[in-house]
């Protein structure tokens, strides 16, 4: 390893599970400022298949975790997120966006009400600093709530797959079964006080479990010993794309808005103090010029982010028939085909529309299909 590479590695943050990943011979890569496992010895395809058929575990401790508490917590979260926070009942969670004043998506997030005046906000690792730069000025002159960043004080592990509930039940004396989808609760998991959210990023049933940081390794090993397969970021990306779930930085950015991305139902703008409320209402009232679509490759080729999308009917690809850009793409072992997402001009966005993807100068046929590409039975 070069001095430069070693210096870069040393600057990366590490989760409390880092040494456990290394012991398991995981391939480590930089991600969002963290040194994270991209895959383990059996490879990405095996990990994807494990999650679809049994259960896999993911280290998601790098994701930001913020606790808002106090009589003003509901109000401040209504102002900085697109969630209808007053309507969020105790023990429930909601997917939402942190949008800027023009409606651009700074981040997508999950907010949970864990008590009457207490909330957990989970944000993306790569956006944590940007999110805080946006959020912090709006907290000034408010003394009716507290915000605590608990990212470094806790570990978070996701377990996903058809066997996830059975495994977590076995470690919680069947308490996990009492928590329904998009709900959050508390239980002892493997003897560890834990917060369990029945949510995930794979299209499968499962939990995202938060425990004190010094208990993270114990939880990970307990889940692994109970039958869950260790999985990395590579499998997680394939799984989320198969499930039609967007990735911020690719499918969502500050230059995109919830409506053109097809997630307008998660953009509540009627809270009187919502910072992005006016912009979101304006966007909701007008027709988006482009839309995020899912497509499946018909010809041989794997779509990748940044490739151009062209209209079908011409033998060549050129600027004259370019209609959009791929934002995410991969080969799906579940669908057994190349799949992707991308923004296209609205008139080309209908399901069944034929497309051409420019794969390194080679035109490859594709077709717009309904998402998700995979849906659990």
Task: Give 221-243 pLDDT, tens digit per residue.
Answer: 999 999 999 999 999 999 999 99
Cross-strand partners of 208: 158, 197
Report how far Cα 254 is from the mean position of its chain's Cα atoms. Answer: 16
Q: What percentage of the chain has pLDDT greater than the value 90? A: 93
- At 142 the pLDDT is 87
pLDDT: is 6 or 89 the higher one? 89
Q: DSSP of 101-140, one letter per residue? A: TTS-EEEEEEEEEEETTEEEEEE-GGGHHHHHHHHGGGGT
Q: pLDDT at residue 54 above 90?
A: yes
Question: What global pTM score does this model have?
Answer: 0.96
**Mean per-residue pLDDT, 343-360:** 97
What average pLDDT is seen over the chain? Answer: 95
**Mean per-residue pLDDT, 133-155:** 93
Other Cβ atoms less than 10 A from the Cβ of 227: the count is 15
- At 315 the pLDDT is 64
Sign of the CA dihedral with 303 first, then 128, 101, and 272 last: positive
**Highest-confidence segment of 137-146, 264-273, 313-322:** 264-273
Q: pLDDT at residue 3 above 70?
A: no
- At 202 the pLDDT is 98
**Mean per-residue pLDDT, 303-331:** 92
Distance, CA of 150 to CA of 61 (rounded, Å): 10
Q: What percentage of the chain has pLDDT greater than the value 70? A: 97
Q: DSSP of 293-357, one letter per residue? A: EEEEESSS----TT-EEEETT-SS--GGGEEEEEEEEEEETTTTEEEEEEEEEGGG-STT-EEEE
Domains and CATH numbers, the chain: 3-61+152-242 (3.30.1360.120), 64-134 (3.30.70.1400), 289-369 (2.40.30.110)
Distance, CA of 28 to CA of 8 (rounded, Å): 13
Q: pLDDT at residue 5 above 80?
A: no
Q: pLDDT at residue 1 above 70?
A: no
Q: Tokens 């369990």, residue?
A: 196
Burial of 59 (0-12, 13-18, 19+ CB in 10 A): buried
**63-122 pLDDT per residue, tens:** 999 999 999 999 999 999 999 999 999 999 999 999 999 999 999 999 999 999 999 999
Q: Tokens 């934002």, residue?
A: 327
**Mean per-residue pLDDT, 10-19:** 94
Report how far Cα 133 is from the mean position of its chain's Cα atoms. Answer: 20
Q: With both helix axes pointing from N to C terminus, report the angle between 233-242 and 44-53 in degrees, rounded to the nearest 10.
A: 50
- At 318 the pLDDT is 86
Q: pLDDT at residue 9 above 80?
A: no
Backbone region of residue 250 per phi and psi (left: phi > 0; alpha: psi in -120 to 50; beta: other values) = alpha
- Among 248, 269, 234, 263, which residue's Cα sits nearest to residue 123? 248
């Amino acid at each position: 390893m070069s001095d430069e590479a070693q210096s870069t590695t040393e600057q990366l943050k590490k989760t409390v599970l880092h040494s456990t990943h290394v012991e398991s011979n995981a391939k480590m890569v930089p991600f969002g400022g963290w040194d994270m496992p991209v895959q383990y010895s059996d490879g990405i395809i095996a990990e994807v298949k494990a999650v679809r058929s049994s259960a896999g575990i993911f280290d998601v401790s790098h994701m930001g975790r913020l606790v808002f508490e106090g009589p003003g917590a509901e109000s401040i979260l209504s102002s900085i997120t697109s969630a209808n926070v007053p309507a969020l009942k105790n023990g429930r969670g909601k997917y939402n966006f942190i949008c800027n004043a023009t409606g651009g998506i700074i981040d997508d997030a999950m907010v949970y009400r864990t008590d009457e005046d207490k909330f957990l906000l989970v944000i993306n690792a790569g956006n944590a600093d940007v999110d805080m730069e946006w959020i912090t000025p709006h907290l000034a002159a408010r003394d009716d709530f507290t915000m605590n960043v608990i990212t470094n004080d806790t570990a978070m592990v996701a377990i996903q797959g058809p066997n996830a509930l059975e495994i977590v039940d076995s470690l919680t004396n069947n308490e996990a079964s009492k928590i329904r989808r998009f709900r959050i609760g508390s239980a002892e998991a493997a003897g560890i006080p834990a917060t369990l959210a029945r949510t995930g990023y794979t299209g499968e049933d499962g939990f995202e479990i938060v425990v004190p940081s010094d208990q993270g390794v114990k939880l990970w090993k307990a889940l692994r010993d109970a039958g869950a397969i260790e999985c990395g970021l590579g499998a997680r990306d394939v799984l989320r794309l198969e499930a039609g779930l967007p990735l911020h930085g690719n499918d969502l950015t500050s230059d995109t808005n919830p409506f053109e991305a097809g997630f307008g139902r998660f953009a509540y703008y009627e809270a009187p103090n919502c910072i992005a409320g006016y912009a979101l209402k304006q966007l909701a009232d007008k027709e988006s010029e482009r839309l995020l679509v899912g497509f499946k490759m018909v010809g041989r080729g794997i779509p990748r982010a940044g490739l151009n999308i062209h209209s079908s009917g011409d033998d060549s690809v050129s600027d004259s028939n370019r209609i959009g850009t791929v934002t995410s793409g991969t080969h799906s072992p579940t669908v057994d085909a190349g799949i992707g997402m991308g923004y296209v001009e609205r008139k080309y966005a209908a399901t069944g529309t034929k497309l051409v993807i420019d794969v390194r100068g080679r035109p490859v046929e594709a077709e717009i299909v309904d998402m998700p590409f995979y849906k659990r039975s």
